[in-house]
A = this chain, B = another copy of it.
Amino acid sequence: MSFTALFNPRGVAVVGSVTPGKLGHVLLSHLVAGGFEKIYAVNPKAKGFAHVPGFASVGDIGDPVDLVVVASPAATVKAVLEECGRKGVKAAVIISSGFSEAGNVAGEEEIKATAQKYGIRYIGPNCAGMINTYSNLIATLQARPPRGGTAVISQSGAVGGAVMHWAEELGLGVSKFVSYGNGSDLNQIEFLRYLKDDPETKVIALYIENINNGREFMQALKEVTQEKPVVVIKSGRTSTGQRAALSHTGSMAGSDAVYDAAFKECGVLRVETIDDMFDLCKGFANLPAVGGRRLAIVTNSGGPGVMAADKAEEMGLDVAEPSADLKAALQSFLPSFAGVKNPVDMTVEATGEDYRRVLEEVVKEYDAAVAIFLGPPYLDTMPFAEGILAAARATGKTIASAIQSGCGVTESARYLREQGLPNFPSGERAVRVLARMAEYAEYKARGCRQVEVPAEKGLLFASGPLLEPEAMAILKENGIPVPEFHFATSQAEAVQAARNIGYPVVMKVVSPQIIHKSDYGGVELNIDSDAACEKAYERIARAAAERDFRGVVIYPMLTGGREVILGLTRDAQFGPVVAFGLGGIYTEVLKDIVLKVAPVDRAGAAEMIRSIRTYPILEGIRGQEPADLDALAETIANFSRLPFLYPDLGEADLNPVFVFPRGVLVGDVRLLKKP
């Protein structure tokens, strides 16, 4: 769709009461105060507002109207849209509530159908409206933020409104704001795609509480983050209400981990608080991209410098010592008592000019710099703001200002902001921003990976649950290495199979009624002779006699590999998700599991392997040979394709999978039908 009608309409009609205190009145006040010119008030009595003319119906307006803002009662919205359709209105912002959020699903369907009939695209219902600061269009209940590079998309009207309030108060420059409420037509996906190419928008801030189409959302995010950064707050991280049903393996990571995995894959920067979101937006909208992780910290106070350095180390930035050349350059003009390390501590004697010169020097060697200033209240901060700004301008490098206290600190921060250089309230917060900017730059440089979804092969469970030998055969067929195995239905067959494989062997019960085989005496390890094999068969057959015993499957006894586990599940929002972690008792205790939205390719699988905490155990420590990580990555990639090949596969666990110095073998498998 074209968003021109929405963001740059020729005329805007507000449908709703103009009585003070009513939503229509609030909306008209904002529109007028914002300076938008072609406004029309629509209400039964055709009342106007200030210089805005009043009409009884949208159809009565003679001039062109592209956008209508609807704040009349829910029951009237359908009729309003009919009117709008006949008038040729192309876009609507439906503030009115009382639809699906209040149980009125039919009402929402009705307005959707009406809008579709006339080709009207709309935001809402039950939303807080939208803003385009660059067309002076404030079609919202909320405050009026200054112009700037941050676009804000909020599902929640309340949170969106609060964000606009803070943006106005703190001077965060906004390009566009949209609160999409119930999102029954336009939602975050359309706006992400639109804002991707919006020249006024440098960074997109997104607040969501829940989503529907995870795959399409990810696709939109991937497209956008190749162009500009997206900062997200997704509430409900640990809330019990939102927990999706995951396989055993996956559930150890927690369902919110799927969101985390999706965001990470899409290069989206997730934050937890509005403060973090604002900080990041300030950085992205105003600072040059961060070219790497080497950070210089320049300060006039030791402790805060160290606190910033701590935060930098924690966030993976490199606070390396300056080179001898740089030290010499700094010592040539700094007083002898200045600490020429990293942080560069110029002490309380530092001047604004010192900040300028030091910053100009350090960014020759470092990728970015943070300038921290803590002044006593009688020391004017403005010269320091000027020094930091001059260095940022002269070098064009990423220099973050953190003037924290001193005389006129509020004015200095505002001055910097007006000059396009954000000031952060502390060194740590500035550092956090630079670290996340570096993270985004790395993602962008790496490029976004599109993994092809394989075509369907067919159904797995057409004739009921899969027995273990059948499941193993499916794995083998799809490039997932399984050990040699034989199905045996008698003692004699079992002995023959064991001889073929070679002792020692493992024997496991095969029964559609037995899932947890060990609990039923259904697993016999280390069988080392024909006699032991016969006895093992007898014991298993006896234990499973009442439970649809079909026979046993015999494997070689595997030893010497490191155990990992793989899982697959279908997430309600994102579809198939693959999980990987180290096996054994530590997995349960440490929950050292990583998730990724499936399918993954070998590179994606390799990333998963590297990202678990116990990765060094796979790499080999204490002189141990490394596990075969290439084979493991290929196994994970092939495994992650299964839910696409077999649409009736609901969940899968491979536990354990043995990773040897050469090769991989699945130790046990469980494939379950989708409910």
Report yes or no: A273 in contact with B209, Cβ–Cβ below 8 A. no
Known: A156-B301, A158-B348, A374-B159. A237 touches B310 (CB 8 A): yes
Interface CB pairs A-B, < 8 A, 18 = A102-B337, A128-B376, A141-B378, A142-B376, A143-B377, A155-B303, A157-B376, A159-B301, A165-B377, A165-B406, A166-B405, A235-B303, A235-B310, A238-B310, A272-B310, A586-B586, A588-B616, A589-B614
Contact B306 A209 (CB under 8 A): yes
Are A162 and B337 within 8 A (Cβ)?
no
Contact of A159 among B161, B303, B337 (CB under 8 A): B303
Q: Which residue of chain B lies nearest to A301 when distances are taken between CB atoms in the complex?
A: B158
Give chain B nearest CB distance to A646 CB in angstroms.
Answer: 31
- A209, B614: Cβ atoms under 8 Å? no
Q: Bin the interface of chain A by size.
A: 35 or more
List residues of A (341-392) whose CB comes within 8 Å of B's CBs.
348, 374-378
Q: Please list the 10 inter-chain residue pairs (A to B) with the smallest Cβ-Cβ separation, ordered nearest first.
A: A162-B405, A158-B301, A238-B313, A237-B310, A165-B405, A235-B306, A158-B374, A235-B303, A235-B307, A143-B377
Q: Provide the A236-271 mask, 1 if CB < 8 A to any CB of B, else 0.
A: 111100000000000000000000000000000000
In the bound assembly, the distance between CA atoms of A307 and B233 in angstroms comes to 9
Query: Is A274 a contact of B426 with CB atoms below 8 Å?
Result: yes
Pick the contact of A303: B141, B158, B426, B622 (CB < 8 A). Answer: B158
Residues of B within 8 A of A613 (CB): 589-590
The answer to whether A405 and B161 have CB atoms under 8 Å apart is yes
A588 touches B621 (CB 8 A): yes
Sample of 18 further A-B pairs with CB below 8 A, known A157-B348, A159-B303, A238-B313:
A128-B376, A141-B378, A158-B301, A161-B376, A162-B404, A165-B377, A235-B304, A235-B307, A237-B310, A239-B310, A239-B313, A272-B307, A272-B310, A272-B428, A273-B428, A588-B616, A588-B621, A590-B590
Residues on B with C-beta less than 8 A from A141 are 376-378
Query: Does A309 interact with chain B (Cβ within 8 Å)?
Result: yes
CB distance from A239 to the nearest CB of B (A): 5
Contacts of A302 in B (CB 8 A): 156, 209
Give the docked Cα–Cα distance between A348 and B406 (Å): 40
